[in-house]
Amino acid sequence: MSDRRGSLPHTGIATFAKAPYVEDLTTLDADVAILGVPTDAAAGMRPGCRQAPRAIRDASTRFGFLGRASSEGYFDINQGRTLLRGVRVADCGDADVTLYDVERNVAIIEDEVRALLSKGALPVVLGGDHSISYPVIRAFHRVEPVTVVLFDAHLDYRDEARGLRLTNNSPFRRVQELPFVQRIITIGVRGVKSTDRELQETLERGNLVFTNYEVFDQGHTGILSQLPDDLGRYYVSIDIDALDPSVAPGTESPEAEGLTYTHIKRILQGLAPRGTLIGLDLVEVNPYLDHSEQTQHVAAQLVIEAVATAFRPS
């Protein structure tokens, strides 16, 4: 069989960046492990992000050259460097989530991420609603302490919503309760639903919050100058609603006055020399609410460019 078979972006089975599919996680041998978590059981008003892993994979086939066994990587013209050369990506399919049982999904998702970590791969998780970040981050309990860097229009720090403690309003309140999580840095917060109480509660814990206007006014360099020089091990969670709705319309809770792609990318690039990226998730893409597949495409590219910050360029 020719190794060119199925090599066009639109041919073959749509794994992430056309990387090899690893169904049996005990056989995983890769630098980067993609895991879909297709659940929106904890979404409120406009569910549908359970479809995101499949949609993002589909869009990511544009970057199929990155999934090959001996990837040549890609040339970043702004840096004048080749990124992801020789980095082995595997697509581990989707976590075996259940419908609507958020508590059970916590255990399932945590177990699957632990399986990826036990194989030494960088877990890269495609949500799903934002509640999934909690079980994903739980899986890192052996690599303490962990700093969490969150890009989001919202704090997601509400203790409970109508008696529920793990909707997509609360994941980082639950993350805060994990003893190995040192600090949460949230970037891009705005909107009329970010409450003063949530803000005070997160600041009282020593967390950092940067609003959209702070990002606009100070730029990525201004934000980076206020972040720790030694970040240690850090985990990145990207809620696609951190981006402006003109860039990423396909999401449950779009908020005007959002960040640009460049803001997120350049902050991630600035963080990389300060610590070790140990895991990544991208959540809240809702293909049902999208226009012209715009959001899944921007999500696929953002995942790739975020992952690239974890590896030394050549």
Residues in contact with Mn ion by the rule CB under 5 A? 130, 152-154, 156, 239, 241
For the bound state, the minimum distance from the C-beta of residue 209 to Mn ion, rounded and expressed in Å, comes to 13
User: In this structure, which amino acid lies at residue 303?
Assistant: V
DSSP 65-93: GGSSTT---EEETTTTEEESTT--EEEEE
Q: What is d(CA 44, CA 297) in angstroms, rounded to the nearest whole number?
A: 24
Q: CB of residue 295 vs Mn ion: minimum separation in angstroms?
A: 13
80 class by beta-carbon count within 10 Å (0-12 exposed, 13-18 middle, 19+ buried): exposed
Least Cβ distance, residue 75 to Mn ion (angstroms): 33
Closest distance of CB 238 from Mn ion, Å: 9
Tell me how far apart the alpha carbons of residues 64 and 190 are, in angstroms, rounded to a whole number.
Answer: 35
- How far apart CA 200 and CA 221 sit, in angstroms, is 25
Strand, helix or coil for residue 113: helix
CB 55 to Mn ion: min, Å: 18
Closest distance to Mn ion from the beta carbon of 252 (Å): 8
**Cβ at position 256, least distance to Mn ion in Å:** 13
**CB nearer to Mn ion: pick between 241 and 305:** 241
* Distance in Å, CB of 239 to Mn ion, minimum: 4
Q: How far is the CB of 40 from Mn ion (least distance, A)?
A: 12
Q: Of 152 and 198, which CB lies nearer to Mn ion in the complex structure?
A: 152
